[in-house]
Chain A
Amino acid sequence: MTKKRKLRWLSRAVSFFRNVTGRQKDELDIAAEVSAHLDLLIEEKLRSGMKPDEAERAARIELGGVEQVKEQVRDARAGAWLDTLVRDCRFALRMSRKNPGFTAVVVLTLALGIAANTTVLSWISATLLNPIPGVAHTSDLVTVMRGDRTDHPTPPFSYLDLRDLSERTQTFSGLLGYHDDYMSLTGVAKPERIYGALTTASYFDVLGVHPILGRAFLPEEGTPPARAAVVVIGYAVWQNHFAGDPQIVGKTIQINRHPYTVIGVAPRDFTGCAPGLRAELWIPLSMDRDVWGANRPARRGTFWLNVLGKLRPGVTKNQAQAELNLFMRGIAERFPEDHRDSPNEISLDPLWRSPFGINGYLYKVLPMLLGLAGVLLLLACANVAGLLLVRSVGRRREIAIRLGMGASRQQIIRQFLIESLLLGLLGGTAAIVITRWTSHSLVAFFPPSNLPLTNDAHIDQRVLFVTIAVSILAAIISGVLPALRSSSLPVQSVLKEEATSVSLTLHKGRLLSGLVVAQISLSLVLLVCAGLFTRSLRKAQQSDPGFEASHLLLASYELSPAGYTRATGVAFNQQVLDRLSALPGVESVTLADFSPLSFSIHTDYLQIEGYVPQPHESMEISRALVGPHYFRTLRTSVISGREFTEADSPESQLVAVVNQAFVDRYLPGEDPIGKQVTDWGDRFTIVGVARNAKYRLLTYPAEPVIYFSSYQVYSPTDDTTIHLRTTGDPRAIAPSVEETIHHLNPELPLFNVNPLSVTMQLGTLFGRVAATFAGSFGLLAMLLAAVGIYGVVAYSTRQRTREIGIRMALGAEQGGIYRLILGQGFRLTLAGLVVGTALAVAFARLLKAQLFGVSETDAITFASVGLLLAVVALLACHIPARRATRVDPMVALRHE
């Protein structure tokens, strides 16, 4: 049976090939056979005694039409579908060339709708779906998090905890730990600050990344207390600083003024495993002591490593989580001192929503934008469907003739769908061209920052594939209604109609109106979302952050890579402040180990006198190291007590300032002044309470913050950021600041010299992305809806020219005609607004979590968007209505 089937298949395939290639010969053969058959028939009739002309007539009647028979044979042969397809495509191409204006409008509309989707998709593809560039398969990789998931997590593991987990786990084939940090590449022509990572030896193996030159770390190189001064450098570092030297492996380079042997070069794409952050140097974490003098690997209570794990095949996330939880509880019981202040519950996350790096934010924003883009595409489809429907009315005679000539309904539907497919694919191609440009626009939202943000969104295979699929889908959605409608024409009556008197049947009119209502309502949805996001962003930008951002210049430097110790570092900072405050145009100046709204504030685990934490309550609290006069410089008022001064020195009593939220949360109803707080075994006395200020995101409620004096506490691993309040434009003073620092230490690079008002844009990054794109989708939607309603009203007005002429001949006034046409548009708009409001209420509920200071049913947004849309729609109807009033009854009635 199978053999037979194979043979039949082969036979059909050979015929198919012959039919496609030997087209002309085959045609002649069919023609010859049919005419031979006719001859035989005639002869037969003659033999039965008919006269020659009679015989021929009878024979032709029996044959039933030479061309029809030929066509039926053609349809029977293998590959007939290919013929019809080619024919339909040719016809579709001819139709689109004949009507270039129509084609352009449809293609552009579809292109914009598709491009909105592919743009967002290119971002999703580059971030959520490709979280670690250079690592193709990340589905079995998970981030390991200790404690509850937050939007601003800190590294959750100490080296010793991670080592114990790695040794015992059966569910992971490997765990890796890393600590991202800036490093200075020194001893080269132009020293550069490069983001890198201190990693476990397992780092490259777990990720499955193989250096293109040399090797990755050996297990013994990454295991404290052994220290191996080796480094794997990134491709860009290799190219930019060492000119792609093929002999680089084995050479010595300097990092933070220490010599390291290059053992490998990472592949070109690979930039570390924190999504959205670009790392380019990797050294074993055992080197921490040499470089930062911190020796963090030796301390079990120092949580500084981010951890990724590779699940063994067949192991589920839950099994792995249960296993790690078990081990972690054991560790916490053995070392209660180190784990008391923080929760020890383990949670695993796939990388697309990894809490570390940019995906932790993007995974909420991007799918939402994709949803909005989807609505825009639907609207574009409704728009195109309307256009196609209107055009199909103009093609009624053509279709009727085809049906009359024996075309089947399927053939007509196929023809229409192929035409819209062609338009869809043209639209998709145009969308790719648009996306090539727009896919890079996400990067444009990144302000200058101390974070090495990176985004490489582009049109990859996935995006290309989806674009094609979406184009086809859009073509079918917009083409199917006109196709179904047109193929069910009452042939007789259409053919009897005069070409010029073709009018909308009631049914088609209703369908068209439905499409217009759909467009208005969908654009209302998009405009409402745009309005909500924009208002939310405005609210955030206008909200009081608790400090004054204008007239503030920031500039950062890093002390420990430059060779400073605790003593020399503090002294240097003092010098910097002295010199800068003497500059003309400087009102006041201070230092901090972070800057507001740029994701740079640190946290510590605190013990607070008089506060008993709940079981497993995280005492991880935002901690800022600030210089004297920080609050005066930032204009954050101190409510009670005092702020830091130059008198707070390492020798004097250790002091702290807390904010109002800290007091409300941990010391409610008490006088906080004089209370003790313990951090890292040091006891600090609270001497002041400051107003709340927002340091992470403007849209978050103010959280507890504790401030220490940078004259008393020295953190070797952090940047120092100068905050300078100026009387004039902060940019103007930047050169003299750089000069001053250069004068103090010519080898200390100063980086990210920018006004605070610029760098704090990072704090509204996602709000701006959402508002900008929802806004442009909304405007685009409004434009499409306006064009849509204009098209339909203008069209139906033209169809009613005769009716209008009669009305005017019978004495109707111009105002009446105007109101008649405008009323038609108004009814459609009103219906659209009602449906749209219902949809928008449902849709906006999904955005609730992303909004700040605006309710998702914000009346102002709904009302103003509705009004705007109504005005635009009526303006669009105004043009055809005006035209209708100018109809000359005599001309209109002679129109036939």
Chain B
Amino acid sequence: MTREQTNLLQGTLDLLILRTLRLGEMHGLGISRRIEQITQGTFSVKTGSLFPALRRMQEEGWIKSAWGESEANRKAKYYRLTKAGRKQLETETAKWERIVLGISRTLEAS
């Protein structure tokens, strides 16, 4: 992925992760699989993108992490939304809807 694409898609990835975590806490692989599942494979999140994004969002204060046990009793780090994260999700969603609306109107008009 080149730098330009990352910048463009970063916001989208954040939105997807926040949305996924709204359902409850989840570990990294879980988030990644969940996104694949929901988008029916349109977005496949690579580990190299996922973890830096999680890291950054943690530092922004949108999500929190804690070590826990997976279903198969394996150690895993679980992420959950914070209050700031919920707010961010609302903002991002609203923003996204505005963009989508704008773009579809443009497409329809021509």
Contact = CB atoms under 8 A, between A and B. Distances in A.
Given A8-B61, A40-B27, A76-B53, A62 B76 contact: no
B48 A64 contact: yes
Interface string A31-66: 011101101110110000000000000000011100
B51 A73 contact: yes
B47 A36 contact: no
A11 B56 CA distance: 11
21 contacts: A8-B60, A11-B61, A11-B84, A32-B75, A36-B27, A36-B77, A37-B27, A37-B47, A40-B27, A40-B74, A40-B76, A41-B29, A69-B47, A69-B48, A72-B49, A72-B52, A73-B55, A76-B51, A76-B55, A77-B56, A77-B59
Contacts of B12: none
Nearest to A35: B75
A78 B59 contact: yes
B109 interface: no
B28 A37 contact: yes
Given A33-B51, A37-B28, A63-B47, A12 B72 contact: no
B60 A36 contact: no
Contacts of A34: 51
Nearest to A13: B59
A12 B60 contact: yes
Interface in A88-120: none
A614 interface: no
A68 interface: yes
A851 to B, nearest CB: 57
B47 A64 contact: yes
Contacts of B28: 33, 37, 40
Contacts of B77: 32-33, 36
The 10 closest A-B pairs by CB, nearest first: A76-B52, A11-B61, A15-B59, A40-B29, A76-B55, A72-B52, A76-B56, A73-B51, A33-B77, A63-B47
Nearest to B27: A40
Contacts of A43: 72, 74
Given A11-B59, A15-B59, A36 B48 contact: no
Interface residues on A, range: 20 to 34
A433 interface: no
Given A11-B61, A36-B75, A43-B74, 15 more contacts: A7-B84, A11-B84, A32-B77, A36-B27, A36-B76, A36-B77, A37-B28, A37-B29, A37-B47, A39-B75, A68-B48, A69-B47, A69-B51, A72-B49, A77-B55
A75 interface: yes
Interface of B: 27-29, 46-49, 51-53, 55-56, 58-61, 70, 72, 74-77, 84, 87
A233 B58 CA distance: 69
A106 B56 CA distance: 42
Given A7-B61, A11-B60, A72 B48 contact: yes
Contacts of B53: 76
A667 to B, nearest CB: 85
B29 A12 contact: no
Nearest to B29: A40
Q: Is the interface of B mostly helix, strand, loop or mixed?
A: helix
A259 B51 CA distance: 88
A12 to B, nearest CB: 6
Given A40-B27, A43-B72, A75 B47 contact: no
Contacts of A69: 47-48, 51
Nearest to B51: A73
Q: Is the interface of A mostly helix, strand, loop or mixed?
A: helix
A297 to B, nearest CB: 77
B51 A44 contact: no
B102 to A, nearest CB: 21
Nearest to B56: A76
A78 B46 CA distance: 21
A622 B28 CA distance: 94
A12 B52 contact: no
A66 to B, nearest CB: 10
Given A7-B61, A8-B60, A75 B76 contact: no
A407 to B, nearest CB: 14
A411 to B, nearest CB: 12
A34 B53 CA distance: 14
Count chain B CB atoms within 10 A of each CB in A40, A41, A77 and give the residue with the most.
A40
Contacts of B48: 64, 68-69, 72
B74 A72 contact: no
A64 B55 CA distance: 18
B15 to A, nearest CB: 17
Contacts of A72: 48-49, 51-52
Contacts of B74: 36, 39-40, 43
B60 A73 contact: no
Nearest to B58: A15
Count chain B CB atoms within 10 A of each CB in A11, A44, A68 and give the residue with the most.
A11
B59 to A, nearest CB: 4
Contacts of B52: 72-73, 75-76
Contacts of A62: 47
B22 to A, nearest CB: 19
Contacts of A68: 48
A44 B87 CA distance: 33
A76 B56 CA distance: 6
Nearest to A8: B60
A37 B50 CA distance: 11
A324 to B, nearest CB: 63
A37 B59 CA distance: 20
A576 B51 CA distance: 100
A739 to B, nearest CB: 88
Contacts of A33: 28, 51, 77
Interface in A5-21: 7-8, 11-12, 15
A64 B45 CA distance: 12
Contacts of B84: 7-8, 11
Contacts of B27: 36-37, 40
A12 B74 CA distance: 31
Count chain B CB atoms within 10 A of each CB in A32, A34, A36 and give the residue with the most.
A36
A78 B52 CA distance: 11
Contacts of B51: 33-34, 37, 69, 72-73, 76
Contacts of A75: 52
A69 B53 CA distance: 11
A69 B52 CA distance: 8
A79 to B, nearest CB: 10
Nearest to A410: B3
Contacts of B87: 4
A64 B56 contact: no
Given A33-B28, A33-B51, A40-B27, A64 B76 contact: no
Contacts of B70: 40
Contacts of A44: 29
Contacts of B60: 8, 11-12
Nearest to A39: B74
A370 to B, nearest CB: 43
Interface string A75-89: 111100000000000
Nearest to B61: A11
Nearest to B77: A33
Count chain B CB atoms within 10 A of each CB in A12, A37, A41 and give the residue with the most.
A37
A55 to B, nearest CB: 14
A156 B89 CA distance: 78
Contacts of B29: 37, 40-41, 44
Nearest to B33: A44
A7 B62 CA distance: 11
A26 B104 CA distance: 44
Nearest to A34: B51
A36 B66 CA distance: 13
Contacts of A32: 75, 77
Count chain A CB atoms within 10 A of each CB in B46, B47, B52, B53 and give the residue with the most.
B47
A244 B76 CA distance: 79
B27 to A, nearest CB: 7
B97 to A, nearest CB: 19
A75 B51 CA distance: 11
